[in-house]
Chains A and B, each alone.
Chain A
Amino acid sequence: MAKTALQFQHNGRDVAIFVDGGTNLLVALRELIGDMTPKFGCGQGGCGACSILIDGELHLSCLTLAETVAGRSVETLDGIKEGPNLHPLQRAFADNFAAQCGYCTPGMLMAAKALLDRNPQPSRAAVVEAISGNICRCTGYEPIINAVLAAASGGRARA
């Protein structure tokens, strides 16, 4: 089968790859670009571990055809750190013990980032809703919700 040339922005860098028709974005990111931060959980959109941002909007990369991101901007966990520093959300996750095995963490962080990008001071209910597509086995969610709220109020303190 002929491969299709595909160009898009990956964490602010232009990338060009060749994909088979039907390749999903998760496979393209992990296997063709080598960005292992989006995780394969279920491959069916049921767990949120593969969450990424496309043009700033939250998407499940396992349910996104790679070819649909041509010319668009794809952001993964690998791109959210600020230079050598952790992103405030990453710092808040560490401070609040919001990760244990860590498999859901990239998806949780991207879902949280999508929320804070559009609503920098969310309510607790808004945080719960924002991560409701993401399953976590270890933490009981409470530390994750607290971390997102802490990152949000930390942002306010700096402003």
Chain B
Amino acid sequence: MTRHRGRGIASINYPIGMNLGGDPSQALVHSNPSGKFTVALSSIDLGQGMKSVTRQICAETLGVPVEDVYVDTADSDTGPHCMGSFASRGTHRVGNAVMMAAREARGVMMEAAAEELEVNAADLETDGRGNIHVKGAPHRSISTKDVAIAAQFKQGKTISGRGIFLVPLSDVDPETGEMSPATCYAHACLVAEVEVDDETGEVAMVRMDSAYELGRALNPRLVEQQLVGGAWMGISHALYETPEPYYPDPSHGPRDFVEYLMPGPGDICPHDIAVLERPAADGPFGAKGPGEMCANPVLPAVANAIFNAVGVRINELPITPERVLRAIKAQGGARPQARR
């Protein structure tokens, strides 16, 4: 029995959101009488941080503290429409919609403040701490709470805004059929190092090193959380998860987590991640989105690492010990490739 080390690399370009235009999401922003703001969405936060990042985007656009913004989301009966949390689209699509809604709400808020301070709205600015003051004259100031109260109870204004992000439909070149599938691409490169046991066919992860270019990281800790966790979803697809055996019908598939495998805490390895920020022209504050891309480069990198380790090219997923072992037997033994 020998354990062979191997390294594999994979690079990806990841188009953000659904392609060829459309893919809308909407957001509504309004102030409450307390001077706090509510963002209404129906976008789902399934732990990836949708609520945190839309809260940040709204607060930054309005010019108010992040603590003053609440995000009310996930009821698609009552919330403004969202296509969904998939295709790495949340931060980019929903973030843009929130930004548009918050801009409109900010406009009304500044008008209401101008009326209270008896100045021109163009002469006002926010201090990011919940106050609006005359540029260059911070003492001529009013709190967003007092503006909200004056707007609602005195001026008869709703401090609110509507936002939607819709990607323009791509034109098709009548000669070539060429079109622009996406407006915004994220990029990644990942190196996987594995150890393959040529007697059992088992593949153990040794380490991963990756670089992700995902526009501006609006919340770096959430980005890191996505990249750390998402890589293991990629490993899970590469090496573990399968509905097989699926013959003669699905009732012969795995019935539980003992048969449908996923990596456990003992299977993980070190993963060094570099986040590169190249702001997207059409992203909210330059953001693209880590989303699905966390998992994508892992699968080809692991397959390449296995080839590097024992010389077998497995092109079916997941790369189970049985598949590795059969491929090694078929070629008459492990054939380690040049060390990379």
A residues contacting B by CB (< 8 A) are 41-42, 44, 46-47, 97, 99-102, 127-129, 131-132, 134-145
B residues contacting A by CB (< 8 A) are 46-48, 221-222, 224-225, 228-233, 256-258, 262-266, 268, 271
Q: Select from chain A the residue with minimum beta-carbon distance to B234.
A: A140
| Contact of A145 with B265 in the complex, beta carbons under 8 Å | yes
Q: Select from chain B the residue with minimum beta-carbon distance to A144.
A: B265
Roughly how many angstroms separate A42 CA and B260 CA in the complex, as a whole number?
Answer: 11
Roughly how many angstroms separate A34 CA and B304 CA in the complex, as a whole number?
Answer: 50
Q: Chain A interface mostly helix, strand, loop or mixed?
A: loop
| Contact of B262 with A135 in the complex, beta carbons under 8 Å | yes
| Contact of B48 with A100 in the complex, beta carbons under 8 Å | yes
| Contact of A141 with B232 in the complex, beta carbons under 8 Å | yes
Roughly how many angstroms separate A51 CA and B263 CA in the complex, as a whole number?
Answer: 19
Chain A's nearest CB lies how many Å from the CB of B299?
Answer: 15
**A140-B222 CB under 8 A given contacts A46-B257, A100-B48, A135-B257:** no
Chain B's nearest CB lies how many Å from the CB of A98?
Answer: 9
Given A128-B265, A132-B266, A140-B231: 12 more A-B contacts, CB < 8 Å: A41-B257, A42-B256, A99-B47, A100-B225, A100-B229, A127-B265, A132-B264, A138-B229, A140-B228, A140-B230, A140-B271, A141-B264
Roughly how many angstroms separate A101 CA and B265 CA in the complex, as a whole number?
Answer: 17
Q: Select from chain B the residue with minimum beta-carbon distance to A125.
A: B266
| Contact of A44 with B47 in the complex, beta carbons under 8 Å | no
| Contact of A97 with B221 in the complex, beta carbons under 8 Å | yes
Roughly how many angstroms separate A23 CA and B222 CA in the complex, as a whole number?
Answer: 40
Roughly how many angstroms separate A129 CA and B232 CA in the complex, as a whole number?
Answer: 18
**A131-B265 CB under 8 A given contacts A97-B222, A100-B229, A139-B229:** yes
Roughly how many angstroms separate A86 CA and B221 CA in the complex, as a whole number?
Answer: 21
Roughly how many angstroms separate A24 CA and B85 CA in the complex, as a whole number?
Answer: 35
Q: Select from chain B the residue with minimum beta-carbon distance to A98.
A: B225
Residues of B within 8 A of A137 (CB): 233, 262
Residues of B within 8 A of A99 (CB): 47
Name which of B48, B225, B256 has the most chain A CB atoms within 10 A of its CB.
B225
| Contact of A46 with B262 in the complex, beta carbons under 8 Å | no
**A101-B46 CB under 8 A given contacts A47-B257, A143-B225:** yes
Q: Select from chain B the residue with minimum beta-carbon distance to A47.
A: B257
18 contacts between A and B (CB under 8 A): A41-B257, A44-B258, A46-B256, A47-B257, A97-B221, A97-B222, A97-B224, A102-B47, A127-B265, A132-B264, A139-B225, A140-B228, A140-B229, A140-B271, A141-B232, A141-B263, A142-B268, A144-B265
Residues of A within 8 A of B230 (CB): 140
Closest 7 CB pairs of A and B: A100-B47, A46-B257, A140-B232, A101-B47, A141-B265, A97-B225, A140-B229
Q: Which of A44, A47, A97, A132 contacts B265 (CB 8 A)?
A: A132
Q: Which of A44, A46, A127, A139 contacts B228 (CB 8 A)?
A: A139
Roughly how many angstroms separate A43 CA and B232 CA in the complex, as a whole number?
Answer: 24
Residues of A within 8 A of B46 (CB): 100-101
Chain A's nearest CB lies how many Å from the CB of B65?
Answer: 20
Roughly how many angstroms separate A137 CA and B256 CA in the complex, as a whole number?
Answer: 14
| Contact of A135 with B264 in the complex, beta carbons under 8 Å | yes
Q: Select from chain B the residue with minimum beta-carbon distance to A101.
A: B47
